[in-house]
Chain A
Amino acid sequence: MNNNAMTCAQARGQFWLLQYGELSFEEEERVETHLDGCAECRAARERSKELHAGFDSLAVEPAASLLRECRANLTARLDLEPLPGLKRRSPRAHGGWWEQFIEALTSGFVLRPAGAVALLALGFVGARLAPSIGPLATAAIDEAGMSRVRDVQAASDGQIHIIVDETRQRTVSGTPGDPQIQTLLLNAARDPNDPGLREESLVLLNKQAQPTEVRDALVYALRHDENAGVRLKAIEGLKGFAKEPEVRGALSEALLGDANPGVRMRAIDLLAADSGGGVDRQIIGTLQELMSRENNAYLRQRSQRILETLNASTEIY
């Protein structure tokens, strides 16, 4: 009898820590040794994995709108914060030379009269020399693709408003089919700083007729975006491309490798969708592989059912 042997209760008590990879080498060895010789505990271990996966599926991802609201509130609150050590936002972010100029003219009591005169003079001269500025500075928009998109919003009239950070912030508006708008949305969909922005951009891209660039952006997001919410939006947008080999490849990768069960569920739904000619039999290999590695009970059931429908084995021989 091995004095170091575990009882079933002791072994089962360690399953979660084992799952987290938080047992020491010796502890893990003892659990594994016990599992080797105990079929009941092996079955219990499988159930424990399923329960573990059940917790995964309940993870909450904050809505992009909530994140945006939090950021806006924080920015507003910081503006009111009188802080030693931290100064106000840099002049550039407040709007550039014009704000600096106004601030310089109006910040001191002595300078105010002189500032007022200077402003009057500038207004008089400026009205005659400045070019007329239309609703949209078209020339500058051509450079907007080089800038950072901070936010995207859909208006009720079908227009899309995009806030672009250039030397100053402004709104660029256009229809969903406007190439300019699409370029900005595609840039925003890959912004590494802001998952909320990426998600909103994909939602807007999904609503329009989708050229190849949009499909590529969606596939890229599904494969590479670290945010599960963005990946889910990408799958949603790929519905119209579900028959294309590259898209099916990306969906299969997501089904077999994505850490988020919600993404895997959407991927299997789209891969197994019957588009009129029955379920694509090329999915069989992917599903068989899934059966050999998936812990999530729903995904296993769904996969098994599809394989049965296709008269295919659930195992790889």
Chain B
Amino acid sequence: MALEKTGLQVDEAALIRAAQQGDRDAFEQLVRVYDQSVLRLAMNLLRSPEDARDAYQEAFLRVYRNLGNFRFDCSFHTWLYRIVTNLCLDQIRKRKVRKEEAAVLATGEGPLDRMDMVAEQRADTDPERSLFSGQLRRRIKDVLEDLTPRERMVFELRHYQGLRLRRIGEILGTSEEAAKNCLFRATQKMRAALGDFV
């Protein structure tokens, strides 16, 4: 659980109950426990800092508005991720419909990937390494865009968020088996597209 990861000696259920009783500080503590992983998920899925920021705000506002209805039927983490993934899925689907190049900005010096403007941890000053990661990056980006929104989501949750398929099934409102099939399809597509790369 995320609370254990942060090393906090905090009872999450107590925080939730306090927030449900109207304790705003308790709510903000809950936000702080989970918000970095929420932002990371949105950023990786939406590939745009602006969209990730919007998803972050909307997700926590929905949590705030509906926390009174949370009945501990599932973990808070699952409930929160259900909200975030729904928001991101909606956004990805809209993009697919619009066929927009959301991740690319037109600049005076040609197209620029928005994610290249993000201060992420990239360890590249070595030309050889840059070439390798650059080629792979482009190919992976293309492949990820070819996945269906649901495949993209399952892959993201499994690969980058490290969630088990059972939890992914809970978040997406489906079975572990269905999540596994979805991940299998996604990996088959990526294998077919990238198999010759390495």
Residues of A bordering B, CB below 8 Å: 12-13, 15-17, 20, 22, 47-48, 50-51, 54-55, 57-67, 69-71, 73-75, 77-78, 81, 83-90, 92-93, 192-196, 226-229, 232, 260, 262-263, 265-266, 269, 297-298, 301
User: CA–CA, A196 to B32, complex, Å?
Assistant: 11
User: CA–CA, A78 to B23, complex, Å?
Assistant: 12
User: CA–CA, A269 to B28, complex, Å?
Assistant: 39
* Size bracket of the B interface: 35 or more
Q: Hey, what's the 0/1 contact readout for B115-129 against A, CB within 8 Å counting as 1?
A: 100111111000011
Q: A60-B115, A85-B67 given as contacts; is B32 within 8 A of A193 (CB)?
A: yes
Q: What is the CB-to-nearest-CB distance from B139 to chain A, in angstroms, rounded to a whole number?
A: 9
Q: What is the CB-to-nearest-CB distance from B69 to chain A, in angstroms, rounded to a whole number?
A: 9
Q: A16-B191, A226-B6 given as contacts; is B121 within 8 A of A81 (CB)?
A: no
User: CA–CA, A77 to B191, complex, Å?
Assistant: 44
Q: Is the CB of B137 within 8 A of A58?
A: yes
User: CA–CA, A6 to B8, complex, Å?
Assistant: 47
Q: A13-B191, A62-B118 given as contacts; is B36 within 8 A of A69 (CB)?
A: no
Q: Hey, what's the 0/1 contact readout for B31-67 against A, CB within 8 Å counting as 1?
A: 1110110011001100001001100110011001101
Main secondary structure of the interface of A (DSSP, over half): helix
Q: Is the CB of A17 within 8 A of B121?
A: no
Q: What is the CB-to-nearest-CB distance from B160 to chain A, in angstroms, rounded to a whole number?
A: 5
User: CA–CA, A48 to B7, complex, Å?
Assistant: 34
Interface check B187, CB cutoff 8 A: yes
Across the interface, B187 reaches (CB within 8 A) one of A16, A84, A229, namely A16
User: CA–CA, A168 to B143, complex, Å?
Assistant: 50
Name the residue in B29, B36, B188 with the highest tally of chain A Cβ atoms < 10 Å from its Cβ.
Answer: B36
